[in-house]
Every structure is written in C-alpha cells, then in structure tokens.
Structure 1
Amino acid sequence: MKQVTSVLIGAGLRGGYVYSRYALEHPNELKVVAVAEPDQIRREAFAFRHNIPKDMQFKSYEELLSRERMADCAMICTQDRMHAEPVIRAMEKGYHVLCEKPMSPEKDEILKMGEFSRKYNRILSVCHVLRYSPFFTSVKSLLEEGRIGQLMSIQHIEEVGYWHQAHSFVRGNWRNAKESSPMILQKCCHDMDILLWLSGSHCKTISSCGGLTYFKEQNAPSEAPGYCMDGCDHRDDCPFYAPKFYLEHPKAEEDGLIYAVTDMTDTDSILRALRRGPYGRCVFHCDNTVVDHQSVEIEFENEVTASFLMTAFTNRCARRIRLMGTKGELSGDMEAGTIELIDFVSNSLEVIQLHTSAKGHSGSDMSMMRDFVKMIGEGKPGKTDASMSVESHLMALAAEDARVNKVTVDFKEYV
C-alpha cells in the first residue's frame, strides 16, 4: 500500500493526540504533512511531533484550504459547529475527508455534507469508531451468521460515567447545546449508528424522554462556591471535587482528560488551571444545558425495535447491549470484551471473551484509522459510508426533537 498523506484541521485531543497517532505508529502508511490550529502552543507542539515545517503550519483552516491540494486527505477535528464548512471546502479541493463526529448539529448541514460526498465522489468517513471495535464487529458477525435467528429487539445502554459527564458535559466543551450540540447527538450518535447498523434497516419512528435533572443550580450544596478551590466545605464528600479528580483519578491521565485542563501536567500547573479555569468550576454552578439522562425508543422499517438508555449516573464509562432473536439471545459488555450467547433449541450458553484494548474506545480508534487509510491507499470499501452516517445523525436529531416536543417522530417526514 502506498503511503497516504494527510492534513490535520484542529489539533486538539482527538485530532492532535488520538487519530494522528496512527501516523506516528505507522509512518509507512500515513504521514501528516500540514496542520491548521489557531492555538499556537498546540499547533507548534503538533508540528514538532510530526516534523512539519513552518510553512506548512497554519492558523486557520481557511488559510490551509486556500492553497492548492497538498495531500490525499484531510482529517477535520474542529468543534461540533465548525465541521461543515471545512469538510465541504476540503471535498471541493479534492481531499477525501475523515470528519470527527458529530458531523454537525444542523440537519441541513448534515444533508449537504452527504450530498457533496456524492457530488465530488469523495470518501467522507465519519468517526463512528464503535463499528471498528472487536466487540461490535463480533456482535455483527454473530448476528449475520444467524446465531440468534431473526433479530426482533435490541436493548442498549451507554453508561457515561459520573466523572466523564462532569468533565465533558458539565464543565467541558460539550456542556451547552447551543455552543456544541445536544447530548444525544454529541455523545450518542455512536449508539444511533450502531443500532442502525445492527438492525439492517432504516428508521421508521422514534420517541424519547429525559432531561437535565441533577447538574443544576438548585441542587448545589449549601454555600457551595462557584469554584471548587474557593474553600468548599463539601470537598470531602463530593465525587465531583475537581482537584481530587484531576490529580488522583486514573482516568484523568489514562484517557488524556488532563490535557483539556492544561498542556503542562505537573501538579502546580494543574492547580493553577483549576483555580479559575472551566474545569475547576462547581458542577452545580456551570452554564451546562445538555441532559444528564435520556432514553430513546426506535422502530425500524423491518419491525425490529430498539430501546436505548444514556445515563451519567454510573461508575463505569461503558456500553452494554442485548439482542433478542427468534432462536436465541445475545448479551455483551463492550469494555469487558465479553459476549454471551444463549441458544433456545439446545438451551446452551456460549461465552466469548475478546481481547480488547484498554484505550481508544476499546481499540476502535486505531482500527478506524487503519480502515480509512486502506480506503484511500488501496481503494478498499470501508465499514461505513456517508449515507449511513447521515441517517444515524438525523436519528439523533429526531430523538432530541421528540424529547423536547414530547412527540413520536415519523422519520421519513422528519428528513
């Protein structure tokens, strides 16, 4: 396979450290030749790691995309509301595109991105990384082998984790739907995509309920200050006390969450950043608007039904699923890498233990990058295409519309 070249637009956590890591680990397959990032420290640090010369470092995507095409593809990892324009302009320039999810919080922009992929015959691969996990790959294979007969129902839960909710969706970049996108789109478009993929059909109707119940002002403990480090009397019995999480919780380092707080990860730098930075705020005194729990009910055109639950109030950041069929039942835990199959005829139980990585969505991130690079370098078809990503994104937006307006949405009419 020839070496694929790429430009990176947005050198934050996902673009700067996760997806681009594939180029450092597999330099014969992928090379990043240019970067666009408005933050000078991040831009220069990324350029140093990837040996990118000064004249290929840009402050904005507009500046980069004003030049003649300089690579095979563009990885676009900006914030939620900043995907559509660089994606469309990159495809017009001749780039194939890897787009961080969600594509956009706007229905018209999602449809336009899919349309331009077809118009210019470009690969538009959205980072629905779960499809590439050993877990969901195995679930899909077992389903297609007929191991549980005809699929009838799916029950799926995403356990966000109390600490992940506090970091990303209360204090962090995705806390406010108007600034980013609704929780069901930002966090759960992965899950809508998995349900669509496993069902083997198209969405027919969708309904939803839930809301922001706990992480709001009226639930703040008595006299809790706006920032954790301003002498909070509840520090010893609060699971969301910021200094304890960012200095002691293993996930802060393992998942790279600490780099959202500060690029300098020594104790003094972390404490300085928490004193008045967004990640040091009391979780009950933030400007968050996204839900902390939500359930979705889906009917597909082939009469498969699915029930999905997203909740912040768990210890683990995990996904568990049950598939119920006419000849058997499958249940699994993605993070544990376990799948259990029950056969109704023999009444037998088969337990499958998968090897899964502890990082990167159980190994999905690197598997997705490998697939994307092969699509470009070898012309191989991928596990997903833009049309299915468009549908699963619109399912998430329809679910939010159903929740807010307390209605059941006819999906065809919605689209």
Structure 2
Amino acid sequence: MSIGESSRPVTLAIIGAGQRGSAYAAYAEKFPDLCKVVAVADPWKFRREKMSKVHNVPKENQYDGWKSFAEAGKICDAVAVCTMDDTHAEVVGVFAPLGYHILCEKPMANSIKDCVTMVDSVRDTGLIFGIGHVMRYSPYNRAVREVLDSGVLGEIINIQHIEPVGWQHFAHSYVRGNWKNEATTSFSLMAKCCHDLDILSYYMGKDSPKRVSSFGSLAHFKPSKKPKEAGEATRCTDCAYERKCPYSAKKIYLEPVMSDAEDPERWAQHITDIVDIENVGKAIAEGPYGLCVYNGQNDVADNQVVNIEFESGATANITMVAFSEVVCNRSTRIHGTRGELIDNMETFTVFDFSTQEKKTVVPKQEGGGHGGGDMGLARAFVKAVAEKDASHLGVTPEDVLRSHLMVFASEASRKEGRVVDYGQFEKEQKALYSK
C-alpha cells in the first residue's frame, strides 16, 4: 500500500517538544492526511501545552516526560525522539521493544558504546529507524547527489566543506547553552557537525573512509581571553565591557526585543516562555544565558578541522568554526577529474572541463530548517512507516553508525594527536560493544 492510499495517517508521538521536536511535528501540521501528532511528552509544561494546542492533542496524551509516556504502552505508530543527546540510547532502548518505529534526532548518542547498543536494539526488529541527518533529505543536497551520480564531474578527487556556525549561535548553544560541556552532552563536532560528516559519506557513496586526522581547540571562549575591562564581572548585566562585547547577552537577546528587529524573537524565544522585555531581562539577569562567555563554564572546541582519506585515494576536509557572520550557511567545493561543483546551500555551479561551460543550478526550496531537510526527512520517515519499507530512508542503521564512528575517530585524532586508521578503529569499537 502506498502512502497516498493509506486508510489513515501515520500516528506520531513527539518526545521532546523543543526546537527539533517542533521541526518534525511541522510535517504533520502541513500534511495532516499523512501524519498526525497524537501525543506529546516534555517535562517543560509550556512547551508541552503549546505543541499539544497546535495539534489538538488531548490532555490524557500529554506526558511530563518520556518515561511516563512509555508506561502507557504502545499508543501510536511511531515516536520522534528529540530529548537531550545523552538520553537517546536509553529512550530508544525502551521504545524499540514496545514496537514503536523510531525517528531519533542526531546525534545518536554521546558515546560509541551507546551508538553501537542503539543499532543493536533496532537491528532485525522490522522497525523503521531513522536518524536526524536532515541534510541528506534536502532538495538541495539531493540535486548535488544527482550531479555526482551523473558522472559529469568524473572521479571525485577532493571535497572541501565548511560549517560556519555563527558567533551568536555558538555563544548561545555551545558556550552558554545545552551543548557547552562535553561531560554533560557531547563534544562540539558531534553535536554540531555529525551530519556534515554524514553528508560527505552521502556524496562519496560506497567509497569508505581509510584514514582520519583532526585538529582543533577551544581557542577563544575561556578565562584567559577575557577582556581586562570586564574585570571580575560574571554577567553581562554587571559588565563594564558589555557595550564593546560582540557576545553581550543584552545585544543577542534583549535589544532585538526592544527594537524593530526583523526577527526579534530569534534567540530570546529559547531562553524564556514569554518573550517580552521583562521576561527576557530577567532571564539574562538570573539564568545561564546572561553569563559571561569567558567564565569558563564551557569546554567544547570552537574551531576544528577534519581531514579524511578514502579507500579510493580521494580526500576531504571539513572546517567547523564559531566565528562567522552567516549562521550554518554551509559551503562546499567538490573537485572531480572532469569538472568542479561549488555550492552554498542555495545555488551551485557545475563547471565542465571538456566544454568549459558553467551551469548554475537553483534547486527547489521547500522551506523549513536545513534547506528543506527537516521536511524531507519527516516525509521519508512517514512514508517508510506507512509502507513498512525502510528503503525510503535511503540509509540503514549500519550506515548511520559508520558516519557517527567517523566523528568519534576524528575526535580521537584531535585529542590523541595521531592519524586514525578508520577501518581498524571501526573494527575495534564494534568488537568492544556489539552483541
């Protein structure tokens, strides 16, 4: 039965009603005949009730966390697991035996052991398992892949990819926010760029990684870089340097709300339920998002490069950097033996060495996050569930594990100062943790 012929929409529970949960729930809002959100679980009452209102979720299907939802047994077809990274393995380990199809937000987990365990828990169950590597599913990246598959570039020799995180985004998420500390979440390459390494795998197809090296550090957001004018201040509200500081919490959260900014709630909506001057001001005066970025509460790298050699001899490098004007507007250069592709997530050019002709491609824009990738992944997952056909996802749990192991291998290289033999690394880690 095709998704268009299904007698009812796929029923979905959102586990974690934050930004990522909302992104996947938006698919059900846009295509109610294909997918329906029937339950919401989140300890934050405001977010739980807000999402439930949008999707008409009854009170009895609103849960204060994933555990209370699990106690209800199986009440729908699938779950979108959008809890914090360090809970993913435990949550998936509980929901899989209940028979839920699972869409798990990236990354899979914070440790190799948990990633391997998660794949083991869904292997051979017949369940649909998807991961939030949304970049694979954007119309843009699919158009790039079509060019690569066409052979017009010849043999791929090198890929250069940059992820400019954005100075405000990095300060918000990785210095003050949920992903600031490796011990409680994960290292920044995993949290921010696991789907960048995945998109390299997507571009390279069956060509496997051979060797990996990486360099990077926490170069700026640390006490030794604190401006002298800031003195002993620990909050932006008490700092003499605040007006000069690009990372001022007042500038990032409060002033846009006080002005006629184009998107006044851009960052403020993530630090308080009610976005107004009073509540945002209180949040930065009392909460973590008003702390000085040089306090030392964070320890994840703010810049990192990853170099990969593939079995074919092709090479690739990824740069993640906090310090950019653009926010996550990735750019890529793909060099082949017969041509070159240059992209910026909106358009790309293809130059043919033989004809010396350059073609500009403007892929369809579907809206939503990650260039339409959020909607693309939700669509593929819902179709896979409706038709009980995991091939619609275009990736297996083993593929997902491999791209995560590439990230872990990169971080091992950075921390240990060595080139990692990827094949050996993968073999050793699976031997340690797989059933």
State whether TM-score is above 0.5: yes
Amino acid aligned to 2:280: I
Which residue of the partner structure matches residue 118 of structure 2? 113
Residues 251 and 168 of structure 1: CA distance in aligned 2, closer, same or farther (over 3 Å): farther
Structure 1 length normalisation: TM-score?
A: 0.95
Q: Is the 8 A contact 1:132 1:368 kept in 2?
A: yes
Alignment of 1:241-256 (within 5 A): 241-248=248-255, 253=264, 256=266
C-alpha distance after superposition, 1:335-386 (max 9, x if no partner): xx11111111111211222343564112211121111111111345223222
Residues 105 and 49 of structure 1: CA distance in aligned 2, closer, same or farther (over 3 Å): same
Which residue of the partner structure matches residue 218 of structure 2? 212
Residues 357 and 271 of structure 1: CA distance in aligned 2, closer, same or farther (over 3 Å): farther
Figure out how many residues of one structure are paired with residues of the other and give that number: 410
Q: 2:330 aligns with which of 319, 338, 343?
A: 319
Q: Name the CA distance, whole Å, in 1 between partners of 2:412 and 2:165.
A: 22
Which residue of the partner structure matches residue 342 of structure 1? 351
Q: Name the CA distance, whole Å, in 1 between partners of 2:350 and 2:98.
A: 48
Q: Name the CA distance, whole Å, in 1 between partners of 2:114 and 2:184.
A: 16
**2:375 is the counterpart of 1:366:** yes
Residue 198 of structure 1 and its aligned partner are, at CA, apart by: 0.8
Which residue of the partner structure matches residue 14 of structure 2? 8
Q: Is the 8 A contact 2:160 2:334 kept in 1?
A: yes
Q: Name the CA distance, whole Å, in 2 between partners of 1:253 and 1:12.
A: 19
Amino acid aligned to 2:371: S
Q: 1:330 aligns with which of 333, 341, 345?
A: 341
Amino acid aligned to 2:209: C
Residue 257 of structure 1 and its aligned partner are, at CA, apart by: 3.2
Q: Is the 8 A contact 1:205 1:408 kept in 2?
A: yes
**2:174 is the counterpart of 1:163:** no
Q: Is the 8 A contact 1:246 1:252 kept in 2?
A: no
Does the residue aligned with 2:196 lie in a helix, a strand or coil? helix
Residue 217 of structure 1 and its aligned partner are, at CA, apart by: 0.6
Q: Name the CA distance, whole Å, in 2 between partners of 1:57 and 1:307.
A: 44
Does the residue aligned with 1:180 lie in a helix, a strand or coil? coil
Q: Which runs of 5+ in 2 are unaligned?
A: 427-435
Which residue of the partner structure matches residue 196 of structure 1? 201
Residues 251 and 408 of structure 1: CA distance in aligned 2, closer, same or farther (over 3 Å): farther
C-alpha distance after superposition, 1:169-219 (max 9, x if no partner): 111100111111011111000111001111112221111001001011111
Which residue of the partner structure matches residue 385 of structure 2? 376
Structure 2 length normalisation: TM-score?
A: 0.91
Amino acid aligned to 2:416: N
Amino acid aligned to 1:177: E
Residue 114 of structure 1 and its aligned partner are, at CA, apart by: 1.4
Q: Is the 8 A contact 2:368 2:375 kept in 1?
A: no
Q: Name the CA distance, whole Å, in 2 between partners of 1:252 and 1:281.
A: 23
Residues 311 and 266 of structure 1: CA distance in aligned 2, closer, same or farther (over 3 Å): same
Q: Is the 8 A contact 1:13 1:259 kept in 2?
A: no
C-alpha distance after superposition, 1:58-90 (max 9, x if no partner): 222122112221111011000010100111211
Once the two structures are aligned, what percentage of the paired residues are identical? 39
Does the residue aligned with 1:342 lie in a helix, a strand or coil? strand
Q: Name the CA distance, whole Å, in 2 between partners of 1:133 and 1:45.
A: 27
Alignment of 1:16-415 (within 5 A): 17-200=22-205, 201-224=207-230, 225-230=233-238, 232-248=239-255, 253=264, 256-317=266-327, 318-334=329-345, 337-356=346-365, 359-380=368-389, 381-415=392-426
Does the residue aligned with 1:131 lie in a helix, a strand or coil? helix
Residues 121 and 107 of structure 1: CA distance in aligned 2, closer, same or farther (over 3 Å): same
Which residue of the partner structure matches residue 430 of structure 2? none
Residues 359 and 55 of structure 1: CA distance in aligned 2, closer, same or farther (over 3 Å): closer
